[in-house]
Structure 1
Amino acid sequence: MSSRLSTPRRSSANRARTRVIPLQKVPAQRLWWVFLILSAGLLGLMGRMAWLQLVQTNELESRARQLQTQQSQPLGQRRPIVDRHGRLVAMDEERFRLWAHPRYFNFPGDPLDMVRSPEDVAERLAAVLSIPKDKLLREMGTQESGIKLHSGIDPETASRIRAMGISGLDLEAYPQRIYPQGDLFANVVGFLNDERVAQAGLEQSRDDELLRHEQARSLRRGADGTPLPDDLAPGVFFGDDLRLQLTLDSRLQELSAKALTAQVKKWNAKKGAVIVMDASNGELLVLASTPTYDPNRFWQFHPGRFREWSVQDLYEPGSTFKPINLALALQEGAIQPGDRVHDVGRLQIGGWPINNHDKRANGLVDFPTVLQVSSNVGMVQAMRRLKNDVYWDWMKRLGIDARPDTDLPGAVAGQLKTKEQFTTQPIEPATTAFGQGFSLTPLKLAQLHGLLANGGRLVSPHITRGFRSGSALAPATAPNGQQLLKPEVTKTLMSWMESVVEKGSGKGVKTPGYRIGGKTGTAQKALNGIYLPGAKICSFVAALPIEKPRYIVLVVVDEPQGENAYGSTVAVPVAKQVIDALLVVEKIPPSKPAELNKAAKS
C-alpha cells in the first residue's frame, strides 16, 4: 500500500528534474547587432573622452581651478611712517565693516530652515557693538540683504562677533590709517580721507611710494585643504615691510609744539612755527606749527589748517636777515671785520624815511653792535658799500625767488624785485638791507642761516631719510651743499651773532657753559605790498654751538598782540626752551665746562 503511494511522487520529481530547455542556435544576425551596439557604445565613450580631453580641456580646467583655488584681493595697505628713532607716526591697522543679511538670520543650533527676526539679532549685537538696539533695528529694516550696520570695528570686537556664530552677518576686513602721535606731525604727514585718498602732507606728495607692494593671491588647495605648490605667481608671498623714516624727533617736536602753543596763546597771535635744522646736512629735527589739527579726526577742523604755513606762506624776515646781508658784504670785500659805520638814527633814501626801531642814534658803531642794537640805519650804511647789481646778484644766487630744494610738500618760492627795480630805485636795496621789501618762507630763512653756520654751504632742508626694511634705521645724511661763502666770512658772522646773545636782544637764550649765537627780528607785516598798521611778525634765529656750529633754531610768531611784542619777548622764550631740550637730546657737550660747573654749584 505504501509502495503504491510513494511511486507517483518520485516520478513527478524525476519529471521536474529532467525538464530542460532545448538549446537553439543563435542567429548570426543577432550577434552582429549585439557586437555593433557594444562597439558603438565603446566608440561613444572613447569619443566623449577625446572630446573632454582635447576640445573641452581649457574650459574644464578653468572650472576645476575655480573650485580648487582660493582668491584674495589686495587690501591697498600703506607703509608706516616713523620718526628718526623709529617711533610710529603713521600706520595701517586692520578694521572691519559689519554687513547684515536679515533673510539669512540663523543662530547656532536652530533648524536650517528657520529665520530669526532682526529683533533677536539686534539684541545680541547691541551689547557687543555698544550701539542701542533700536538704532540697529532701524538699519536692519531698510532692506532684506546687504545692509552695512557698522564700520571701524577693531579686531577684538570682530572676534567676539564671529564667536556668536550668527548666520547672515558678514565681516569685511579693510585697513584704516592711524596716526599714533595725534596732531604732533599733522602739518608734515597729512592724512587720508574716508576713501583712503591722500589729502595733504607726505601722504599726498609720496602717495605712490607709501603704497605697499601687494598683489592678488591665487592659492590652489587639494580636497583636504592642503595647499598645492603649483600656479603661484612670483612674489605672491613677498612681505613688504618697508617704512618711511623721517628726520624729525618726536621728543623735540612735542616740546617745541607745547612751548609754541603756549606762547601763541599768551600773546593772542594768529599762528607760529618752530624749525630746528642740522646745518651740516639740512635734516630737520623739528617742524612744528600752530594752530594744527588731529589727522585722526580731520573732518572736525577747517581745511585751512591742512597746509604747513612755514613752508608755504611768505613773509618779510626783518632783522633776522641782517647777518646774511653782512655776510654778503664781507664776502665781496665791501666791508671789513674791523670797520665801523655812523648810525645817525634817521635817513632819507629816495624821499623815503628810514628810522631805527627806537628812533635813537647810536653814533659810530662796529658791526657786532649794529646787530646787538638791530640798527636799521647802520645796516643801510653798511650795504651802501656793496654795488646794487652785485647785491641783487647775490640775492638771486641765494635763491630768494626760487623754490627751495626740499622734500617738504608745497614749498614755494620767495619774492624779489626785478634787477631793474633794485638797481634804479634806491629805496629797494635800502629796505632789503634790514630785511624788508622782499619775502621768503621761514624754511628758506632757516636754510640761509644754515649757510652761515656750516661754513658757507647751501644745504637742502629735508624731513625724510628714505625707506628702510623692518626695524632698521637709516643713517644720517652726510654733510653736503654748494659752497657759496668763504668759511672765514661765516666764522666772523658767528662771533658777531654770539655777541647778540651775550650783550644784545638775544640774552634770553643764554645758557651757562654754552656758546650760542642769535638774532631777533620784529618786522612789519605787508599785505599786497601795503604794510598793515600794528601788524608785525616776531622772530628769533639761533645757531649753536658757536665753536662748531651745527644746529639752527628758528621761531616765528605771526601778529602777536600787545605793545611789548618783540622778537626778544615773544620768540626768544620759545627758543630758550627748545635749545635747552636740544642740548640734552643731542648730547651737545658744553663749550665752557668750568662755567657750567660753576652755575651748577650756585
Structure 2
Amino acid sequence: MSRTRVASRKRTGRVLKLHPVPSSRLITVVLLLCSALGGLGMRLAWLQLVAGEQLESRARQAQTERRIPLGRRRTIVDRQGRLLAIDEERVTVWAHPRYFRWPGDEAEQRRSPREVAEKLAPILGVSAGSLSERMGQHRSGVRLASNLEPSTAARLKALNIDGIDFEHGPQRIYPQGDLFANVLGFLNLERSPQAGLELSLDEKLRSQELKLGIRRSADGTPLPDGIGAGSMHRDDLRLQLTLDTRLQRVAQLELLRQVEKWNARRGAALVMDARNGELLALASVPTYDPNRFWKFKPGLFREWAVQDLYEPGSTFKPINLAIALQAKALTSSSTIDDKGSLTISGWPIHNHDKKAHGRIDLATVLQVSSNVGMVQAMQRMDSRNYWQWLNKLELNNAPDTDLPGAVSGQLKSLDTFTANAIEPATASFGQGLALTPLKLLQLHGMLSNGGRLVSPHITRGLRSGTELSGSSHLSGRQLLDPKVSQQVLVWMESVVEEGSGQVARIPGYRIGGKTGTAQKAANGIYIPGALITSFVAHLPVDDPRFVVLVVVDEPQGEHVYGSTVAAPVARSIIEALLVIEQIPPSKAVAKALRTT
C-alpha cells in the first residue's frame, strides 16, 4: 500500500497548475510585434521610395563591368600598301622568384634565381648572369623580357617553371624601322602615343577600340545580357599615307651620305606632287628606331622640317620674281645692272662671289644667284605692296597640313618692313624672314601647279579593300597667273642648264632648280660661320608636277654651297622619282638629243 501511495503522489506532483496571463503582458507583446512590422514597413518604403535610385545604381555597378579591350590599332600603310605600322601579338615575361620551383619539386622547395636563369638564358638569347642580376633580391614582379614572339614564349612555357608568368597583348611594330620614324612617331610601353601621326591621329587610329559592358550574376558568372550584336566586331580599316617607301628610302640614304660627308648637323628631303599637295617623301637625318625608342634622345622625336624655322636664302628668289611679275613691277624682258655691291640704309650688300655681272636679264640673276640683282629687281615694287604679297602667301600662318606640329613663319610687321629700306632689300634674297622647309615646299609647289597654293599632306584617308574614305583636300587658292609661274620655271630651268644647279641636270629631262646658301640665325643674331644649304627642283618643266627640296643644316668644310651639298642629293632623288613614277623624257629635249 505504501508503494501505491508514493507512486500516486509522484503522478499528482507532475500536474502543473495553469494561471491566467496578465492582460498587460499580452498588450506588450502585441505592441512589440506591431512596432517591428511597422519598422520593417517603413524601412521597405524608405528603400523603395527614397533610396531606390541610389541602390539601383550601386547594384548595376556591382553587376556590370566596363572593359576597354587592348584591341589592335589600325594599320598604317604607304601609297602602295606597304606596311608601315601594325599591331602584332607579343609576350612579356615576368618572374616571381619567391615561387620558383621545377615540376615534381616538393611543395616547400624553392629554386634560386641563378638556377632559373640558366634554363631561360638560351631561349631568351641573353647570359644567365644578366638575368640573375636583373632578378637580384626581388621577390616578385621582375620583367625579364618584352616584345617576345609567341613562338619564343611557347618554348619558355614548355619548361613549366613555377613563378614565370606570361602577359600576352598587342605590340605596335614598325616594319620599316627608322625609315618613317619622323612621320609616324611611336607608342610607348603603355601603348600611349608619343609623337608623329600616332599622336596627332590617335582618335582615328584607335576608333575600333570600343568599351564593352559585361553583366555578371551574384557569383560573378558573366551573363550574355548587354552584349549586343556587333559588340565584338573589328573593322579592317587601315590608314593610307601618300608617302612612297621606295622613294623615302632613296631620299634617306642619299641624305645620310651627304650629312656624314660634310659633317653636317642634320638634313631633310621632301618630295611633293604639286597638283594635289601629296608628299611622296619626307626624310630627315639623324633619325631613330621607333621599335627601340628608349635608346634615343627625345630631341629626335620631332620632325624639324615641319617645326623649325630657317631663312631660306636664294631658294626664295624665284618666289620673289613671281610676286614682282604678278604685280607688274617686272616683265619677262626686264634687265638689271649688277655692279657687284650696293649700300642700303648704311648696310653693304654684295654678291656671294663678290663679282659684278653688269647688265643681265632675270634668268641670269637666278643663274648666278645675284643678291644685288634681286635687290634692284624688287626695288621696282612698292615696299607696302611687296609686304602685302608676302602676307598673302601666308608666311605668318602655319601651312594647312595634316603633319603634326606645323608652325607659322616669321615676317616683320608692315610698319617695320616699310619703315626701313633694308628690310625689303634683305627679303629680296631670302634673308630677314623665316619659314619651315615645308612652307618653302608649298610655295614652290605654287610655281609648279600654275599658281595655286595647295595644302601639303601625307594622309590619303582610311582604306578598306579598294574603298577609300575620309580623303578630302582642297584644290588650293589661286594666287598667280599660270603664265607667271611658267615663266619663272623657264628661268629656273636655265639655272640647271647653265647656272649653279648643273649638278642636277639629267639628259632628256627638263628640270628647273635653284640653289641656296644662307647664313644661319639664332635669336635674331647670325651665327659666325654657320650656313644652311638647300636646293629646290621642279620637274618636268614642260609639264610641271613634282617639287623636290633638300636642306642640309650646318655642313662643315670648304666649298660649302647648295650646289655642292644639297643638289647631289636632289639629283639622286629625281633619278629615282623618274623611274618610280615612269616619267617619260621631255619631248623637246629628246628631239634635240637625236639631232646632235
Q: TM-score range by the shorter chain?
A: 0.7 to 0.9
Q: 2:307 aligns with which of 312, 319, 323?
A: 312
Tell me the alpha carbon deviations over residues 387-424 of structure 1, each in whole angstroms, 9 at most, x when there is no partner: 11110000101011111111111111111111011111
Residue 376 of structure 2 corresponds to residue 381 of structure 1: yes
Find the aligned partners of 1:365 and 1:507 in 2 and give their Cα distance: 19
* SS at structure 2 position matched to 1:360: coil
In structure 2, the residue matched to 1:578 is 573
In structure 2, the residue matched to 1:406 is 401
Change (3 A) 1:235 1:431: same
The CA deviation at 1:71 is: 10
Find the aligned partners of 1:71 and 1:519 in 2 and give their Cα distance: 60
1:518 partner amino acid: G
The CA deviation at 1:317 is: 0.8
Q: 1:559 aligns with which of 534, 545, 554?
A: 554
In structure 2, the residue matched to 1:288 is 283
Change (3 A) 1:393 1:527: same
Give runs of aligned pairs for residues 353-372 of structure 1, distance below 5 A.
353-372=348-367
Between 299-308 and 412-421, the greater mean CA deviation after superposition: 299-308
1:262 partner amino acid: R
Give runs of aligned pairs for residues 444-455 of structure 1, distance below 5 A.
444-455=439-450
Tell me the alpha carbon deviations over residues 238-262 of structure 1, each in whole angstroms, 9 at most, x when there is no partner: 1132221111111111101111111
Change (3 A) 1:497 1:150: closer
In structure 2, the residue matched to 1:33 is none
The CA deviation at 1:511 is: 1.1
The CA deviation at 1:154 is: 1.5
In structure 1, the residue matched to 2:538 is 543
Give runs of aligned pairs for residues 481-500 of structure 1, distance below 5 A.
481-500=476-495
Change (3 A) 1:269 1:99: closer
Mark the runs of 5 or more structure 2 residues left unpaired by the alignment.
1-47, 49-54, 217-221
Between 129-138 and 410-419, the greater mean CA deviation after superposition: 129-138
In structure 1, the residue matched to 2:318 is 323
The CA deviation at 1:321 is: 0.7
* SS at structure 2 position matched to 1:321: helix
Change (3 A) 1:240 1:499: same
1:291 partner amino acid: P
Find the aligned partners of 2:357 and 2:105 in 1 and give their Cα distance: 99
Given that 2:73 and 2:209 are in contact with CA atoms closer than 8 Å, whether structure 1 keeps it comes out as no
Q: 2:425 aligns with which of 430, 440, 458?
A: 430
Change (3 A) 1:101 1:406: same
Find the aligned partners of 1:289 and 1:554 in 2 and give their Cα distance: 12
Find the aligned partners of 1:338 and 1:523 in 2 and give their Cα distance: 28
Tell me the alpha carbon deviations over residues 292-314 of structure 1, each in whole angstroms, 9 at most, x when there is no partner: 11112222222221111111111
Tell me the alpha carbon deviations over residues 165-206 of structure 1, each in whole angstroms, 9 at most, x when there is no partner: 555543221222211111111111111222222221111212
Q: 1:268 aligns with which of 263, 266, 276?
A: 263
Question: Normalising to structure 2: TM-score of the pair?
Answer: 0.82
2:521 partner amino acid: A
In structure 2, the residue matched to 1:158 is 153
Find the aligned partners of 1:209 and 1:390 in 2 and give their Cα distance: 43
The CA deviation at 1:126 is: 4.2
Q: What percent identity do the matched residue pairs reach?
A: 61
Find the aligned partners of 2:421 and 2:140 in 1 and give their Cα distance: 78
* SS at structure 2 position matched to 1:365: strand
Change (3 A) 1:72 1:323: closer
Tell me the alpha carbon deviations over residues 85-106 of structure 1, each in whole angstroms, 9 at most, x when there is no partner: 1111112221122345567667
Find the aligned partners of 1:99 and 1:521 in 2 and give their Cα distance: 55
Find the aligned partners of 1:82 and 1:597 in 2 and give their Cα distance: 42
2:519 partner amino acid: Q
In structure 2, the residue matched to 1:302 is 297
The CA deviation at 1:584 is: 0.4
* SS at structure 2 position matched to 1:202: helix
Residue 384 of structure 2 corresponds to residue 394 of structure 1: no
Change (3 A) 1:365 1:74: same
* SS at structure 2 position matched to 1:445: helix
Residue 186 of structure 2 corresponds to residue 191 of structure 1: yes
Given that 1:103 and 1:115 are in contact with CA atoms closer than 8 Å, whether structure 2 keeps it comes out as no
Tell me the alpha carbon deviations over residues 425-472 of structure 1, each in whole angstroms, 9 at most, x when there is no partner: 001111111111111111110000001110000001111112222576
Find the aligned partners of 1:429 and 1:265 in 2 and give their Cα distance: 36
Find the aligned partners of 2:390 and 2:271 in 1 and give their Cα distance: 23
Given that 1:89 and 1:180 are in contact with CA atoms closer than 8 Å, whether structure 2 keeps it comes out as yes
Find the aligned partners of 1:207 and 1:479 in 2 and give their Cα distance: 23
* SS at structure 1 position matched to 2:542: coil
Residue 213 of structure 2 corresponds to residue 211 of structure 1: no
Find the aligned partners of 1:104 and 1:350 in 2 and give their Cα distance: 82
Tell me the alpha carbon deviations over residues 59-115 of structure 1, each in whole angstroms, 9 at most, x when there is no partner: 9xx99x99xx9998611532221111111111222112234556766766x499686
Between 425-434 and 171-180, the greater mean CA deviation after superposition: 171-180
In structure 2, the residue matched to 1:248 is 243
Residue 512 of structure 2 corresponds to residue 517 of structure 1: yes
Find the aligned partners of 1:553 and 1:578 in 2 and give their Cα distance: 8
1:232 partner amino acid: I
Change (3 A) 1:372 1:101: closer
Question: Normalising to structure 1: TM-score of the pair?
Answer: 0.81
Find the aligned partners of 1:350 and 1:101 in 2 and give their Cα distance: 77
1:587 partner amino acid: Q
In structure 2, the residue matched to 1:24 is none
Change (3 A) 1:70 1:460: closer
Mark the runs of 5 or more structure 1 residues left unpaired by the alignment.
1-54, 222-226
Between 466-475 and 325-334, the greater mean CA deviation after superposition: 466-475
* SS at structure 2 position matched to 1:455: coil
In structure 1, the residue matched to 2:461 is 466
In structure 1, the residue matched to 2:12 is none
Find the aligned partners of 1:276 and 1:350 in 2 and give their Cα distance: 39
Find the aligned partners of 1:289 and 1:556 in 2 and give their Cα distance: 9
Given that 1:192 and 1:203 are in contact with CA atoms closer than 8 Å, whether structure 2 keeps it comes out as yes
Change (3 A) 1:575 1:142: same
* SS at structure 2 position matched to 1:238: coil
Between 577-586 and 495-504, the greater mean CA deviation after superposition: 495-504
Find the aligned partners of 1:519 and 1:141 in 2 and give their Cα distance: 62
The CA deviation at 1:370 is: 0.9
Given that 1:544 and 1:550 are in contact with CA atoms closer than 8 Å, whether structure 2 keeps it comes out as yes
Given that 2:461 and 2:471 are in contact with CA atoms closer than 8 Å, whether structure 1 keeps it comes out as no
Change (3 A) 1:150 1:264: closer
Find the aligned partners of 2:476 and 2:535 in 1 and give their Cα distance: 24
* SS at structure 2 position matched to 1:386: coil
Between 142-151 and 437-446, the greater mean CA deviation after superposition: 142-151
Find the aligned partners of 1:479 and 1:498 in 2 and give their Cα distance: 29
Find the aligned partners of 1:348 and 1:532 in 2 and give their Cα distance: 22
* SS at structure 2 position matched to 1:523: strand
The CA deviation at 1:476 is: 8.2
Tell me the alpha carbon deviations over residues 132-166 of structure 1, each in whole angstroms, 9 at most, x when there is no partner: 55665667785666554443322002222344455
In structure 2, the residue matched to 1:10 is none
Find the aligned partners of 1:117 and 1:103 in 2 and give their Cα distance: 9
Find the aligned partners of 2:236 and 2:191 in 1 and give their Cα distance: 20
Change (3 A) 1:572 1:301: same
Find the aligned partners of 1:280 and 1:589 in 2 and give their Cα distance: 18
Find the aligned partners of 1:570 and 1:298 in 2 and give their Cα distance: 30
Change (3 A) 1:73 1:140: farther
* SS at structure 2 position matched to 1:465: strand
Change (3 A) 1:98 1:570: closer
Change (3 A) 1:265 1:378: same
Greater Cα radius of gyration, structure 1 or 2: 1
Change (3 A) 1:591 1:234: same
Find the aligned partners of 2:205 and 2:459 in 1 and give their Cα distance: 13
Tell me the alpha carbon deviations over residues 345-391 of structure 1, each in whole angstroms, 9 at most, x when there is no partner: 11111111111111211111111111111111111111111111110
In structure 2, the residue matched to 1:342 is 337
